[in-house]
Amino acid sequence: MPRRHTLLITTAAVAVVLGAPSATAEPSAVVNDWGCRPSEVHPNPLVLVHGTSNTAKEWNQLTPDLLAAGYCTFVVDYGYAARPFLQSGGLGPVRESVGEVAAFIDRVLIATGSGKVDIVAQSQGGVIAEYYAKNLGHADRIGAEILLAPPTHGTTLSGVVGVIPPGSPLRDPVNTAMAALACPACADLETGSAFIRALNDGPVAQSGVRYAVIATRDDATVTPPGAASFISEPGVTNLFVQDLCPGTRADHAGLPSHPVVKAWVLNQLDPSTVRPTPC
């Protein structure tokens, strides 16, 4: 097959896998209230970080529960890069997106007068949170990271990455095309990328931060499921949705709005108040 056809097919496949945001309802509660002051019960404001090719609306079905539970809740949009197509949030180079999220966290800390935030993050948002704490050295600003299917160790994109193995003369041109045509973040998040290597150079989990990771066995985006996401280090909670509710169906994009995941997030944020899992 001519190389230009390989580039187009691979880029299109990545676009299909990562470029389909989940359907979300319109917001039913107000977030980003810069006058909010955290309570003694929940002293850390929450920062919610969406995934690739998505926006803050990804959290519309979770934020009402968080606000009802008394959390000061802030949702960041990031990663808008002007591309020839697939113009959406979460597509820009991940290191640039880390900088955007870092600036947002600084704003939240200043506005709320808090010393730390807790982060709830989906997919790419999860590795941004991990990189922020580890590689930027900001673990002292984080209380907990509650992560939904982050590509901690990179993703094979259900085999799309494996189509062009490391060392192939097509590998770099395909990644270049992926970045130039559609999604720099997609290239950064694939297994073996420079960004993923930097994140995994030494322990991912940082002292003083409480980590919890959930994945789904039905994931076709961050693959292989679980192995790509879990932080297999002391003190980290790692589990599948199906460990909580055997037989439950949950795809990657639907995790932020899945009833089982929403209950799990609330329980992880406040382990002292355990909510029943709605299997």
- How far apart are the C-alpha atoms of 176 and 96, rounded to whole Å? 17
Residue ranges and CATH numbers for the domains of the chain are: 3-16+46-269 (3.40.50.1820)
> What pLDDT is attached to residue 173?
52
Residue 168 pLDDT > 90: no
- How far apart are the C-alpha atoms of 200 and 161, rounded to whole Å? 18
* Torsion angle of C-alpha atoms 268, 269, 271, 272, degrees rounded to 10: -160
Report pLDDT digits (tens) over 68-83.
Answer: 999 999 999 999 865 5
Residue type, 157: L
Residue 135 pLDDT > 90: yes
Tokens linked to 225: 């499921």
Find the range with the poorest average confidence among 4-18, 39-53, 214-228: 4-18
Q: Would you say 128 and 102 are in contact if contact means Cβ atoms under 8 Å apart?
A: no
Range with the largest mean pLDDT of 62-66, 81-85, 154-158 = 62-66
> What pLDDT is attached to residue 11?
42
- How far apart are the C-alpha atoms of 14 and 86, rounded to whole Å? 11
Q: How many CB atoms sit inside 10 A of residue 276's CB?
A: 7
Q: Would you say 147 and 129 are in contact if contact means Cβ atoms under 8 Å apart?
A: yes
DSSP 41: S
Tokens linked to 10: 């691979």
Q: What is the mean pLDDT of residues 137-150?
A: 98
Residue 85 pLDDT > 60: no
Q: Please give the model's pTM, rounded to 2 decimal places.
A: 0.85
Phi and psi (nearest 5°) for 242? -70, -15
Report pLDDT digits (tens) over 2-22.
Answer: 444 333 334 434 444 444 444
